Amino acid sequence: MLNSQLHKYSTPLSTKTLIPWHKPFISGEAAGASFSKHQESKPSKKNKPFRVRYVPGSRIKAVQVTPATTDKATKVVATVIVQVTVGGFLSNLGWKRGLDDITDLFGKSLKLELVAAELDPATGSERETIPAFASRAGREDVDDIKYECKFTIPQNFGEIGAILVENEHRKEMFLKHIELDGFPNGRININCESWVHSKYDNPEKRIFFTSKSFIPSKTPSGLVKYRENELLAQRGDGSGERKESDRIYDYDVYNDIGDPDKNKDLARPVLGGKEHPYPRRCRTGRSRTKEDPLSESRSSFVYVPRDETFSEVKGLTFSAKTIYSVIHAVLPSLENAAIDSGLWDFHTSQPLTHCFNEGVDLGEEPKATLFNLLPRLVKTITDQGKNVLLFETPELLDRDKFAWMKDEEFGRQTLAGLNPYSLRLVTEWPLKSALDPGTYGPAESAITEELVEQQIKGIMTIEEAIKQKKLFILDYHDLLLPYVNKVRELKGTILYGSRTLFFLTPINTLKPVAIELVRPPGKGKPQWKQAYRPGWDATSAWLWKLAKAHVLAHDSGYHQLVSHWQRTHCATEPYIIATNRQLSAIHPIYRLLHPHFRYTMEINALARQALINAGGIIESLFSPGKYSIEFSSVAYDKQWRFDQEGLPADLISRGMAEEDPTVPHGLKLAIEDYPFANDGLILWDIIKMWVTDYVSHYYPESSLVESDEELNAWWKEIRTEGHADKKDEPWWPVLKTPQDLIGILTTIIWVTSGHHAAVNFGQYHYAGYFPNRPTIARTKMPTEDPTEESWKSFELRPEDEILSCFPTQIQATRVMAILDVLSNHSPDEEYIGAEPEPAWADEPIINAAFEVFSGRLKELEGIIDAKNADKNLRNRTGAGVVPYELLKPYSKPGVTGQGVPNSISI
């Protein structure tokens, strides 16, 4: 899959063909073929028929033809907009191209059939479709291709409900838009934005409905069969291996993470099922491995339904291509450079900012290759002719190079950093584990009442602090402890169970007061645990720094594997599959959700191929190592609940808020200056108001929700198939009323937009400088079973101890290269509320509601700017503080630390 964004075409692509061309040669254009020409006029901006998304290729403008009507028939011209693509139809590649030119020459490029919206009232049967062949009609400019045909529509045919399309070529083509012009009441615009397979690959015709949305009970009678058949086609029959051109959505478990046929050490358990509960992914149907009949074999192509793949601007200039190339070209270059120059551990003689100031020499790798992959990072030292990976200075380091050492910043980032989803209110004392003490040792925490009260210096007692909601915790103890002994058997990593306790100061900042690290019994040793506190002397100060490094590695792993991957990417894929299997393309809820699912399935397939796979980036760079994705399954089993995935419910579940109808958003925050929650609740309310307006329009009565068989099948399938391992949980929301539906949809849209933006686009800003968020800890604490020699070494050179604990230079450099790509906004990013879907333009009430939605999002930009200028908000302003902008709705391309895309597209 990793190179599937370049798409696995039957004809090999050369490097040059990956570059958008200015004047693609279209065979047959100069061969004397003549095509009908019609006077053209551009659609007005006000009546824009479809959303334009830049893709290297074409944007075809509509053709207006003067209506020609008679008493008996209406003459209509259909204009089909086809996009020039790199590997599909209209590319300059392969023998099939010549045959397609001949097809064009004889005027049989596309077969269109008009479908009547209603059955024949006289017979109660379907009206016969009206067919015509569209032939090529020239181009608007060098990249714009259009096809036209004429229809004569009988007076009694009635309203047009859809168009059937058959691609007569031997290669797929990308249809953007079809316009029917000539009706007395104006044009009919049909937005396609879809790949259409060749009839030689699949004889089934494609259907594209008009822009009007219908719940099932209100579907025009002539479209009922087409609506049902289209859904049946997209469900498939659950058999066979999927082909690239397929549009089939089906479920499977995560059984393709491991690669036991390549190496038995790369075997991984199947995720999904009783032993390892997990959301489901899209089925590919690849054969099983020889070594493990439960695991699916791996290949360079990973199927995703054809219309879920990246657009060419994203595929050619960004994202999957870049990530794939970074993994397979840049990272090996980095490792070779490290081996050649001995750049493994950081040394006291070398600044930790070496990667930003001097860079890493990549040797003889051609500059063009590296520069095209990482243009922000690869520089050339001109006088020496060397290629140097010189990283852009992350925002955090640029503002305060000592920020990573400060306890104030440590506390602030739990509220306004990369992982604002883990902090919880302490409601009980003493702290205790829920794990079996017979296996993991005594349950009581080493963080004692005396230790805490020493740190809060007599301000209040523990009992008072809990009552006044002053104590908060990062608690990874019970999740990590079962993996500690297993991870310690891996080379170059160490693990503890951990708890970190914070005290809320009068100015709403968090002061870290204690860290507990725990090792369970094992290998003949008893349980070991120790609590550390901010140092009052040199030794305890260094031990505190080391303890923080371990906790930050735990938080980095939890962030990447749970807050980011499992709760957004992984949990969303079942929503996408169910939506395409159970909701027709003309269902209003399908059209509401569709922009929020863009590219997610392909980026997830990429992750399975090279990020979360056995031996991949995550396993090699994060603390749980080979157990990383298995760990995310444990978190899913113990923590994931759909009813707590919406922001208000999430905050309440962690004790970070309580319901209060007298305050904004109906929630009173436990920490008033909580930037993620402050901005997130505004965004949540804006999304919910838009969803409320939308749902209320199509479901004015509760009975319409209960009687909508597609909608109920969709929600049932999400629960029982997509999240099958949770299907019997009592907390699933019921779906009986419009309010139920509003809550479900708001949650899904929040997860794909606000939640994902909050945990993704700040990665380079906060984790690009690895001492601030090390992804792995490589050495144990000096106080764990010390020898006389090891303790003496620590006392003599404590700085060496912390540098040895940090990731190696090569690990840090690999993390920075990947995070730079993952934090990047694509040039064709679609931001929340920026552009309406084409279908909404024809619904005045929906269009007006969207305009309000968009306006509120623009207001949010100003609200966030004003908060970041408020000096009373210490968690978002102050000397050297990075302002909190992760939930600002809009952004320019690149690594900006702001912008909320519609979907999980990276």
* Domain extent listing, the chain: 4-210, 400-551+775-807, 558-770+835-868
- 266-275, 389-398, 429-438: range with lowest mean pLDDT: 389-398
- Active-site option among 163, 589, 612, 906: 906
DSSP for residue 74: E
Do 207 and 213 meet the contact criterion of CB atoms below 8 Å apart?
A: no
564 belongs to the catalytic site: yes
Beta bridge partners of 669: 657
| Mean pLDDT, range 298-320, rounded to an integer | 71
pLDDT at 30 over 60: no
Which CATH number among 3.10.150.10, 3.40.50.1980, 2.60.60.20, 2.170.120.20 corresponds to the domain 4-210? 2.60.60.20
What confidence tens digit (pLDDT) does each residue in 755-800 have? 999 999 999 999 999 999 999 999 999 999 999 999 999 999 999 9
Query: Which CATH architecture does the domain made up of 400-551+775-807 adopt?
Result: Roll (3.10)
Catalytic annotation, pick one of 564, 594, 665, 765: 564
In angstroms, the first-to-last Cα distance of the chain is: 15
Residue 184: other Cβ atoms inside 10 A: 7
Can 92 be counted among the known catalytic residues? no
Element (H, E) at 336: helix 331-341
- Which of 359-368, 565-574, 575-584, 600-609 bottoms out in mean pLDDT, i.e. has the lowest? 359-368
Binning pLDDT at 50, 70 and 90, where does residue 311 land? low
Q: Is 847 a catalytic residue?
A: no
The proportion of the chain whose per-residue pLDDT surpasses 90, expressed as a percent, equals 72
- Which residues, listed in sequence order, are joined to residue 718 by a DSSP beta bridge? none
Q: How far apart are CA 259 and CA 37, in angstroms?
A: 57
The DSSP letter of residue 418 is: S
Same fold, 4-210 and 400-551+775-807: no
- Token pair recorded at residue 381: 């030292």
pLDDT score, position 322:
56
Say which of 167, 760, 772, 824 is annotated catalytic: 760
Cα separation of 771 and 403, whole Å? Answer: 10
As a whole number of angstroms, the distance between CA 234 and CA 153 comes to: 31
Model pLDDT, residue 458? 79
pLDDT of residue 335: 59
CATH code of domain 558-770+835-868: 1.20.245.10
Instruction: Give the residue-averaged pLDDT of 110-133.
Output: 95
Q: What is the mean pLDDT of the chain?
A: 86
Phi, psi dihedral angles at 365 (to 5 degrees): -55, 130
816, 574 Cβ separation under 8 angstroms: no
- Determine whether 587 is an active site residue: no
Please state the separation of Cα 655 from the chain's center in Å.
Answer: 27
Q: What angle do CA 674, 677, 680 make, to 5 degrees?
A: 140
Reported as a pLDDT band with limits 50, 70 and 90, residue 842 is confident
The predicted pLDDT at position 828 comes to 84
pLDDT digits (tens, 9 = 90+) for 734-752: 999 999 999 999 999 999 9
What is the pLDDT at residue 438?
96
* Dihedral pair phi/psi, residue 767, rounded to 5°: -110, -5
Q: 357 catalytic, yes or no?
A: no
Query: Do 291 and 643 contact (CB within 8 A), yes or no?
Result: no
Which residue in 7, 554, 569, 825 is the catalytic one? 569
The pTM (predicted TM-score) of the whole model is 0.88
pLDDT at residue 329 in the model: 52
Q: Is the pLDDT of residue 101 over 60?
A: no
